[in-house]
């Protein structure tokens, strides 16, 4: 198994800060538009994270609807519960994506963002999605192909070592390439494939890659196995590029929509 990330309270707050950036807010807007939720619908969020998407969905489905969420991190669930504390239509619990604690055909729509790249048994995970999704229901999955990550650097070999080490916390860092076929194999008919690019041409606290720099440097110098001095040098170069106006970062995320056949 991949070492993974430990989502303690500090990590949960760090993820929340990243998800509140305009970059990721824009991603949520695209996802919500694709889902086309209606008042009264029942929705499942697999991997709720800090609950920002769950909150927005709850406002759309209203008091007669329902938003259930699962996550493997209790600190993440605590953040999401606090955010949605005034929305009675929300309920969150600790559960695994491969063992969803819901009855068959429980949901009109299911969404999962940045989760399945961590899941080893995708056949089982998507079989669970098909099981709890109502006939004709919709599922939306968003994940990253980490080969699309581009950072400006004067030390390309070091950048490659850092990104290779970072991939160690994922089960499948290139999941979008095979996701369509996996959805179809689970009995889910793919209806859309969209690319959502994230681009940062400057470095500041309110951009996606600002928070990711610290997260990546911390991981690769720990479970990732790189020397601390190499991670520090990589991070220092990126911050220096930000100060000099030469910073550049881009990555692609992919949103798949499917229906239960």
Top CATH class of 9-149+171-199+253-260 equals alpha beta
Q: What is the pLDDT of residue 69?
A: 98
- Coil, helix or strand for 244? helix
Contact in structure between 50 and 82 (CB atoms under 8 Å): no
**In the chain, what are the domain boundaries?**
9-149+171-199+253-260
- Coil, helix or strand for 158? helix
Task: Give the pLDDT band of residue 2 (cuts 50, 70, 90).
Answer: very low
The model carries a pTM of 0.94
What DSSP line would sit under 213-241, residue for residue?
Answer: HHHHHHHHTTTT---HHHHHHHHHHHHHH
- pLDDT tens readout for residues 233-246: 999 999 999 999 99
Contact in structure between 50 and 73 (CB atoms under 8 Å): no
Cβ-based burial of 219 (10 A; exposed 0-12, middle 13-18, buried ≥19): buried
Rounded Cα gap, residues 162 and 219, in angstroms:
10
CA dihedral for 143, 83, 75, 96, sign (positive or negative): negative
- pLDDT tens readout for residues 158-208: 999 999 999 999 999 999 999 999 999 999 999 999 999 999 999 999 999
Rounded Cα gap, residues 91 and 80, in angstroms:
10
Q: What share of the chain is helix, strand, coil (3-state, %, to 5)?
A: 45, 25, 30
């Amino acid at each position: 198994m991949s070492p993974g990330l430990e989502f303690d309270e500090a990590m949960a707050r760090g993820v929340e800060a990243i998800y509140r950036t305009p970059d990721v807010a824009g991603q949520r807007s695209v996802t919500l538009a694709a889902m086309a939720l209606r008042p009264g619908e029942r929705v499942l969020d697999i991997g709720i994270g800090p609950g920002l998407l769950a909150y927005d969905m709850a406002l759309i489905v209203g008091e007669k609807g329902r938003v259930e969420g699962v996550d493997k991190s209790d600190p993440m669930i605590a953040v999401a519960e606090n955010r949605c504390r005034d929305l009675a239509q929300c309920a969150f619990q600790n559960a695994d994506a491969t063992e969803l604690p819901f009855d068959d055909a429980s949901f009109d729509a299911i969404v999962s963002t940045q989760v399945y790249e961590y899941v080893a048994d995708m056949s089982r995970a998507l079989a669970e999605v098909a099981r709890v999704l109502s006939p004709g229901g919709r599922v939306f999955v968003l994940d990253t192909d980490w080969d699309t990550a581009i950072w400006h650097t004067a030390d390309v070999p070091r950048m490659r070592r850092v990104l290779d080490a970072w991939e160690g916390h994922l089960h499948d860092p290139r999941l979008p390439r095979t996701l369509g076929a996996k959805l179809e194999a689970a009995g889910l008919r793919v209806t859309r494939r969209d690319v959502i690019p994230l681009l940062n041409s400057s470095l500041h606290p309110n951009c996606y890659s600002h928070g990711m720099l610290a997260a990546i440097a911390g991981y690769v110098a720990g479970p990732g196995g790189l020397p601390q001095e190499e991670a520090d040098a990589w991070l220092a170069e990126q911050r220096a590029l930000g100060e000099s106006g030469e910073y550049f970062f881009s990555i692609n995320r992919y949103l798949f929509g499917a229906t239960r056949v």
